[in-house]
Chains A and B, each alone.
Chain A
């Protein structure tokens, strides 16, 4: 077995092609790089993504197990350190021992991958509650800042929940967005995005929610640590109830419309581009109002 470093395009299919190459060429990958590798003592080789190879590897998992393929796909969305190496080790283990390998939760690789997947799923479950939409002329929009790539996991839930609506969720961390309109959804990369200022009705609902949130707490039972452990502060940045005062004011209602718009602001934050068949969520920002971070 020859030690080697693989370069590939960073996609899940690309990674499966690396697995394919390693088995057909009898190579032992010691590292994976997206694009060009840094200087390394090992030989490097670029693996092109071939759909047929990826498919063949993926289908091989289903010969003995129905759960391993989906598990790998989820693991691919996580922030597991040295993800490719860990997953490669897991695939090897799986090929050698069969599905029973996945049950050995005390194995180092299995437990690391399982833990990462659990983290992803827990984060997605929390975000199902913590995502906050705002309405812009009939379209709902939200921003999130997750650690893992949770959009594929949120997709089914929100598409079902807002079945007859159009909405989008922008993932600030991974710069991608989930669009849904006319019963179709798509996840697309999106470099720049900025939320519009709220309209009058939207601002009113934000105030109502903030008031409800403040009222429902019982002062005699106050427990800031309890709250933080169940809802870590990293989520607060995108949640309505923790925003500063100007988040609750509609600039259009306050009479400062057009006063802060500069042409450069529009160029810096272009409107999100929507894929074909899905209308763009809204026109470019009118008032130059930024969503507080």
Chain B
């Protein structure tokens, strides 16, 4: 089989993996090696595909042969699709070829399970070892640890890769049992715990010995599928929070379920992927990681799902109007972050600037603070920008309107000269 066909099959099989990031590690160039990961700590996007997702890594499977039969997956063994496998050397050469042309920031390597998890991991390790040691590749590598593989192999993989991830796949054990009969919760969580442990030990070792080998310096992430099973947003968010707390994950990715197969246990094939839901979950995920929110604050048992019309932060603010309006000239950083429309960048700029001058609405605009939502919740030098009283009924219409195109919501259309 030609390389082009292999690449097509194996990229197509890998495309449902949401994680395509090159963040979390800054490693400069090294003599005799190719590559660095220091363009920025936030990673570097090399292109954006037609679905608007960032392409930063060469995202492929080692092989899409798989012995497992996960119901939702394109690569399950009962699905009739063309199969292919890279040889370790082919993959290494392709990566270097792409990297030299600046198409990619590195390699994202996952795999279907051939034979056993151990066998699969050994294949992946062989490919990565050729890439790192023979081709002297110093760029980013994200590798998937296969649940069920032995701990020694996970360690070896971590020494070669920058980031490891183990996919949690389903947000609850019950749906995991029904949809992925070959996987168990403990098999998924065991490597996660191991990676966290080794990352921590490695940090200590690096503090003592500068040249200690690094183990997954960019940490670990995971991914779960949203919309294939019946869990509520609240359940998913609380699960991600506990993953952040217990396993020190860098990211939890959500992947809106794209129906690829007809099955009694799954949504029908003509359901659209729940993109808005995925978006709201990501917004909430950011609130957990950067804004000091807890999952319990955002959703409770009475309202277990996010409002499709309003973002999670706005919803929270509307339910806690007693804390508003906030005076931008005196409020502390934590409170500024809780104002809808003010993010980390804006809040930091406000902190810097208000030491020099007092801030009014014009000054805020010049700082680059977006007032579309924030104006309802703040005061500048004691004054508000709007006369709307701080009650949910009055604010709600303006806030939902701020999110949408005015032409769409009024029900009018742009007329065309030629439409008659």
Contacts and interface: CB of A to CB of B under 8 A. Distances in A.
Partners in one complex: yes
B49 A217 contact: yes
Interface stretch (B11-19, B182-190, B243-251, B288-296): B11-19
A245 interface: no
Given A208-B4, A213-B49, A105 B103 contact: no
Nearest to B10: A215
A160 interface: yes
A96 to B, nearest CB: 14
B212 interface: no
Overall SS of chain A's interface: helix
A226 B39 CA distance: 23
B50 A132 contact: no
B34 A221 contact: no
A53 B136 CA distance: 48
Contact of B47 (A107, A140, A213): A213
A209 B356 CA distance: 51
A62 to B, nearest CB: 21
Nearest to A126: B45
A205 B101 contact: yes
A142 interface: yes
Interface residues of B, number: 62
A66 to B, nearest CB: 16
A104 B11 CA distance: 49
Interface residues of A, number: 54
Contacts of A111: 366-367
B147 interface: no
B7 A211 contact: yes
Contacts of B100: 133, 135, 140, 162, 165
B40 A231 contact: no
A133 B12 CA distance: 25
A110 to B, nearest CB: 9
Interface in B1-48: 3-4, 7-8, 11-12, 14-16, 28-36, 38-40, 44-48
B3 A208 contact: yes
Interface in B335-361: 349, 352-353, 355-357, 359
B284 to A, nearest CB: 20
Contacts of A165: 34, 100
Most chain B beta-carbon neighbours within 10 Å: one of A111, A218, A240: A218
A130 B8 contact: no
A106 interface: yes
Given A130-B46, A230-B45, A142 B273 contact: no
B214 to A, nearest CB: 18
Contacts of B61: none
Interface stretch (B51-59, B173-181, B408-416): B51-59
Contacts of A205: 97-98, 101
Contacts of A241: 47
Interface string A172-212: 00000000000000000000000000000000010111011
Contacts of A135: 100-101
Interface string A220-264: 111111110011000000011100000000000000000000000
B94 interface: yes
Nearest to A183: B31
B52 A208 contact: no
A206 to B, nearest CB: 8
Contacts of A211: 4, 7-8, 11
B283 interface: no
Interface in B257-286: 258, 272-273, 275
A125 B366 contact: no
Contact of B357 (A106, A131, A142, A212): A106
B39 A223 contact: no
B300 interface: no
B349 A207 contact: no
Contacts of A43: none
A208 B34 contact: no
Given A108-B366, A162-B100, A211-B7, 18 more contacts: A100-B356, A106-B359, A107-B357, A129-B39, A129-B45, A132-B102, A140-B100, A140-B101, A211-B8, A211-B11, A212-B7, A213-B47, A215-B8, A215-B15, A217-B15, A218-B51, A221-B51, A222-B51
24 contacts: A105-B352, A106-B357, A125-B40, A129-B39, A132-B101, A132-B103, A135-B100, A157-B38, A157-B39, A161-B29, A161-B35, A163-B30, A163-B34, A165-B100, A207-B4, A216-B14, A216-B15, A216-B55, A217-B15, A218-B15, A218-B258, A221-B52, A222-B51, A227-B48
